[in-house]
Amino acid sequence: MTAEAPSGDNLVARGSTIVASALGLFHLANVAGVLVLSTMVVRAVHLTTVLALVYLFRVAQPRSRDRPLAAWHLAVDVAFATAAIVTGVYLLLRWDAIALSGGLTNSLDIVVASIIVLLVLEATRRAVGLFLSLITVAFLAYPFVSPYLGGLFYGRGVRFETVVAFLSLSGQGIYGIPIGVAATYIILFTIFGAFLSGFGAGDFFFDLSRSLTRNLRAASAKTAVLFSTMLGMISGSAAGNVAVTGAFTIPMMRREGYKAHQAAAIEAVVSAGGQLMPPVMGAAAFIMAEIVGVPYVTIMKVSVIPALLFFFSTFCIVHLQASKADIGAPTVEPRNAVGTLALLRRGVPFLIPFVGLLSLMVAGYSPVKSSAYAIATLVALYAVFHRPDPRTLLTMAFESLSTGARGVAAISVACAAAGIISGVLAMTGLGSKLSAFIISFSAGSLPIGLLLTMLVAIVLGMGLPTTAAYLILATVIAPALADMGLPLLTAHLFVFFFGCVSPITPPVALASYVAAGIAQANINLVSWTAFRYGAVCYLLPFAFAFGPGLLAEGSRLTIAGTVVSAAAGVFLLAVAVVGYFRSALGIGTRLAAGGAGIALLHQQLLTDLVGLALAAIVAVVAARTASVPTERRGSETGPPSVGS
């Protein structure tokens, strides 16, 4: 047995937990009106605390006595954390004077501003990764190198003092909209998700998913789809979803008959889709609402149909894959099986806050207030139904606050880095120059512009989390798409979708890697299988870019017709991906099914007719193939594709 960590490390760990819980309480008190603070004060307190938590993370990790933290590591981390606190306090003390003077600063202000920029860059490297840190440095360098650039990117240059003061001592750089969203929407919803998880909602959602799919073909895979959808509503993290749900669902799918790489790919795909499902669509969705200038409930509304189509496609894929592998419904009732109604009664403390959250937002309450009320309702109902002793309840709440605050640290640091990028774009006019460059490069063609955006989004997503990738694309590329005629909200949703599928896009597919580790499967095989299973998500953004009915725009009849057509298209795409409909299909029939699916996804009468014609051909061929004896069918269709 390893020895316990040294007492000093334990002290730092306890202190870090207390600080994280205090940050959560601070935001709850601010929302409740107990604290009445200006926007800048809230943002500064939030970022200061988050930076300190990031720098103390390594120190707070438990270690054995034979592998202690190096003294110089300890000294550097404590020095960085101290610098974050000192500069944050200085900014809070000086902010009013700087703002009232119209932005006049002194030499000490510039020193502090420079340190804040460096702290954000290093915290970004630690919490998010080197890629985002380097991208931020590249943008930060532009004001100083622009006089030496030619053509479109030439600039007159900006003094160092002006740059760091604008970025650190105003509300348009580091303390701009991205960190503002992190300090309001994201922190409250992250805390709500932590409370749900800490109070047992994960177990309830898993049991409910198993109950709803108990007697269906491929019950375990469909449980994974439902469970990850439910969990994705409250977490919005692909890799996190895989780590939580995959531990249950991947072994279940393997026992049911799925191959290891198939089970891992299914889990990775549905977990990535969790970021698309309202009400909590990942941190980027809240930032989108602020940038576009629409209520968050509008983002939820326009995202519902694409999200449901994505999960419907995954449902179809797991069903067809099970039919192809002859995986039937389970014949043995699970031990200790509980009826659905009994489960729903047990889940009242989780369902009422969840429904209440949606109802309040639809009724016009802000997402921040709605999430705060939902947290209070959850704690009250849990106390009524489970009757824990007060000490236990307080401990659970304390741990949930700490978990929620820690969970937002990496996102907040990414938002601060994005603030540097957006600040540079605003200060130098680089944003309009990049937009003009993109329009020129795509020759003003919207389809080409969308294709280029997809490629850039996928490349950025290889090295960045969804939120960071979206923030860069939203500030650089989305305005160019809007200038080419795409509605602004649609442009941002297009970018957001491709940021969400980056965790399952090879060659760097983080969600697939986590799932492969759980399933003990080949990483590359899992990645490419997940890429195929998630094919619909790569097509949906193009579909709603040219078909606003998928974003619930237009008459009810138009929306209904578009949804029916798209659902049929999604099913046919699933047929093409799996290569099965009533029987195994040949390559020609699969291509026809894929063409029919793409045509039906496009919102136009002519393409719908073409899609229906191709679908009819697929149905006829599938019916004839199904009537052929098994021996002959195997020779006609050829061997199954790798990874199918």
> Is 188 part of any domain?
yes
pLDDT of residue 275: 79
pLDDT of residue 331: 53
User: Are residues 413 and 136 in contact, defined by beta-carbon separation less than 8 angstroms?
Assistant: no
Domain count for the chain, please give it: 2
- DSSP for 95-140 reads HHHHHHTTS---HHHHHHHHHHHHHHHHHHHHHT-HHHHHHHHHHH
Decide: helix, strand or coil at residue 580: strand
Domain boundary among 349, 375, 410: 410
> Is 484 part of any domain?
no
Domain boundary among 368, 385, 410: 410
pLDDT of residue 641: 42
> Is 433 part of any domain?
no
> Is 243 part of any domain?
yes
Percent of the chain with pLDDT over 70: 90
> Is 68 part of any domain?
no
**418 closest CA partner among 407, 431, 436, 405:** 431
Half-sphere exposure of 383 (CA within 13 A, CB side): 15
Enumerate residues 6+ apart whose C-beta is below 8 A from 459: none
Structural domain of 242: 179-302+319-410
pLDDT at residue 559 is higher than 50: yes
pLDDT in tens, 99-154: 888 888 899 999 999 999 999 999 999 988 888 899 999 999 999 999 998 788 88
Across all residues in the chain, what is the average pLDDT? 85
> Is 427 part of any domain?
no
pLDDT in tens, 203-241: 888 888 778 777 777 777 788 788 777 776 655 567 767
Supply the pTM of this predicted model: 0.81
Enumerate residues 6+ apart whose C-beta is below 8 A from 629: none
Decide: helix, strand or coil at residue 584: strand
Residue 539 pLDDT level (bands cut at 50, 70, 90)? very high
> Is 129 part of any domain?
no
> Is 165 part of any domain?
no
CA distance readout (Å), 421 to 112, 137, 302: 19, 9, 28
Domain boundary among 410, 442, 475: 410
User: Are residues 264 and 516 in contact, defined by beta-carbon separation less than 8 angstroms?
Assistant: yes
